[in-house]
A and B are shown apart, each in its own frame.
Chain A
Amino acid sequence: MAKRVGIEVSIAIAEAVKLADADVIPAYPITPQTHIVEHLSELVANGELDAEFIPVESEHAAMSACCGASAAGARTFTSSSSQGLSLMSEILYIPSTMRLPIVMVVANRALSAPISIWNDHQDIMVQRDIGWIQTFAENGQEAVDLTLHAFRVAEDRKVSLPMIVNIDGFTLSHVIEPIEIPDQEEVDKFLPPFKPRYKLDPRKPISMGPVGVPEVYTEAKVALDNALKASKRVVLKAWDEFAEIFGRKYNPVETYRTEDAEVLLVTMGSISETAMTAVDAMRDSGQKVGLVRIRLWRPFPSVEFRKAAGKAKVLAVIDRCLPPGAVCGPVGEELRSLFYKVPGAPKIFSFVAGLGGRDVTVERFEEIVDKAKAYAKRRPKELYEVIGVREK
């Protein structure tokens, strides 16, 4: 029987990696990801997890080692955050086109300057286009479940792509909460051993990642794009299988009290839970407000999102990232593209909130809904608005 325990989310993620029986873990510690890899190094050191833990000299080396390990056929895990993820950047584009199913948990954190160890989504949005499958967790249970799900999807021969599970730094990584830690037997049923189609093997030599001359580069990139889009079927199928075994069902897009809603908040990650509480409060006061949460960020679940939100009049999209000089935040931009010239599409208003650990409270969500309602009547001057900026 699965065991419900009070446990720090980071430790629970490390336990999930142990249950997945990872073979190689190259990692470099960085706040707020540290507890995940610390606990994994302990599990390896005390013999509870039979894996190679490689304490590398940098995140650049971590991802390089991940590529090598995965190419050799090892189930490979790492974790990073913020500046560390940025330092990996050069390598992050490689395992996707090389189809190496590395699993990484990113404990999302702001980018310098000014130095901030606190949570937002800037680190991962910089890496939006690396070609990895990406999910966002709302709570600790989901962080554990999505980590197991990531191994299952990434290593599926129909997919063979690296996958990131995003968890909000501190607001998830450092919280103790109730989590059902799955049974080894159940995990084994869900997650078969990793059997790559191709691997580096001196007895059967192949080349991986050679130069892509102009005659093949376009095709390689199109192949990645096709593979990433096609991965959605396996992402969904694996969630169905997960539900059968563990009893918890996940969808690429989740709705909360969207029936007859005129304004829909759109969120990703752990602020979704506070947003639900805000929706309850606004519904209690007679407002027709609902919530749509994006769990699968890449490949973007276009069909599912249109179905979930297409009937609303107004979408208030919240980005945890401020791309300077852009039209609006990345999630806002995505949804504006998705609904461009679609007849009867909702009006989309883009908000930026919760940068560098700024709390996104129930009051903030209420403020956002009020503003979105006002903008629906009278177009705002700007294409996005940063919420809660102190004037003095």
Chain B
Amino acid sequence: MKEVRLHGRGGQGAVTSAELVAIAAIDEGRYAQAFPSFGPERRGAPVMAFIRVSGDQIRTREKVYHPDIVMVLDSSLPSLVDVAAGMKEDGIVILNSAMSEKELRKEYGFKCKLAMVDANTIAREVIGLPITNTTMLGALLKATGIVGMDAMDKALEHRFGRLAEKNKAAMRRAYDETVVIK
């Protein structure tokens, strides 16, 4: 079982991202859960969302305390929130950042595996809005392979209808541009 914690800000679509990954995994015939950090919704405030993906039935309703994967949608969050808190030893943090590996490690003290992509630029150029949730899905797929691109495409098409194409394109570009450091 893989456990994922997403960090974003209210309104950035972290919950939507989590839902889309779970839907894609279930569509691939596996088991998955997605849920928000339940609470009042406040635009701009740091929020979390959680995903579990497994080949077997998932029998837990706990929040995710020890993620295998952490994905951060907002580049300003690592200075506010300890995004790597509780992560499993072999875990990876996937960041929306224009910084290099060296800069990230120096600035935030990351000791774990990292993956990063400048999702702000991609989202602005491809979607036309600085909303990075679907863009960052490309980074997640590249860094972890947690679901396949086909199932992810289908989930995006189902959710966004005619707006899906731009989101798919942004996801693909992020997939190509994500740097994974193991």
Beyond A6-B27, A273-B59, A361-B62, whether A176 also contacts B38 by CB under 8 A is no
Beyond A174-B38, A175-B33, A176-B32, whether A5 also contacts B61 by CB under 8 A is no
The A/B interface has a contact count, at CB < 8 Å, of 73
A4, A8, A178, A270 — most chain B CB neighbours (10 Å): A178
Task: For the complex, count residues of B whose C-beta is within 8 A of A.
Answer: 24
Asked whether, in the complex, the Cβ of A171 is within 8 Å of the Cβ of B61, the reply is: yes
Asked whether, in the complex, the Cβ of A170 is within 8 Å of the Cβ of B38, the reply is: yes
Stretch at the interface among B17-25, B67-75, B127-135, B164-172: B17-25
Is B4 in the interface zone, CB < 8 Å from A?
A: no
* Chain B 28-50 residues near chain A, CB threshold 8 A: 31-36, 38-40
Asked whether, in the complex, the Cβ of A274 is within 8 Å of the Cβ of B26, the reply is: no
B61, B62, B63 — most chain A CB neighbours (10 Å): B61
Q: How far is the CA of A32 from the CA of B19 in the complex (A)?
A: 18
Beyond A176-B34, A178-B31, whether A270 also contacts B61 by CB under 8 A is yes
Beyond A6-B23, A6-B26, whether A175 also contacts B60 by CB under 8 A is no
Q: How far is the CA of A360 from the CA of B60 in the complex (A)?
A: 10
How many whole Å from A176's CB to the nearest CB in chain B?
4
User: CB-nearest residue of chain B relative to A270?
Assistant: B61
Contacts of B61 in A (CB 8 A): 168, 171-172, 270-271, 273-274
| B35 touches which of A174, A360, A362 (Cβ 8 Å) | A174
Query: Chain A, 267-288, contact with B by CB distance < 8 Å: what is the 0/1 string?
Result: 0001101101100000000000
How many whole Å from A33's CB to the nearest CB in chain B?
13
Task: For the complex, count residues of A whose C-beta is within 8 A of B.
Answer: 28
Asked whether, in the complex, the Cβ of A273 is within 8 Å of the Cβ of B60, the reply is: yes
| B38 touches which of A6, A270, A271, A357 (Cβ 8 Å) | A357
Asked whether, in the complex, the Cβ of B35 is within 8 Å of the Cβ of A175, the reply is: yes
Asked whether, in the complex, the Cβ of B59 is within 8 Å of the Cβ of A6, the reply is: no
Q: How far is the CA of A5 from the CA of B34 in the complex (A)?
A: 13
Beyond A273-B61, A359-B62, A361-B62, whether A176 also contacts B31 by CB under 8 A is no
B39, B58, B59 — most chain A CB neighbours (10 Å): B59
Beyond A274-B62, A276-B59, A362-B60, whether A174 also contacts B26 by CB under 8 A is no
Contacts of A172 in B (CB 8 A): 61
* Chain A 272-321 residues near chain B, CB threshold 8 A: 273-274, 276-277
| B60 touches which of A4, A5, A274 (Cβ 8 Å) | A274
| A6 touches which of B22, B63, B65 (Cβ 8 Å) | B22
Contacts of B59 in A (CB 8 A): 273-274, 276-277
Extra pairs beyond A117-B39, A175-B35 (11, CB < 8 Å) = A5-B27, A6-B24, A6-B27, A176-B23, A177-B31, A177-B34, A178-B31, A273-B58, A273-B60, A359-B63, A362-B60
The 5 closest A-B pairs by CB, nearest first: A6-B26, A6-B23, A170-B38, A176-B34, A175-B35
Residues of A within 8 A of B (CB): 4-8, 32, 117-118, 168, 170-172, 174-178, 270-271, 273-274, 276-277, 357, 359-362
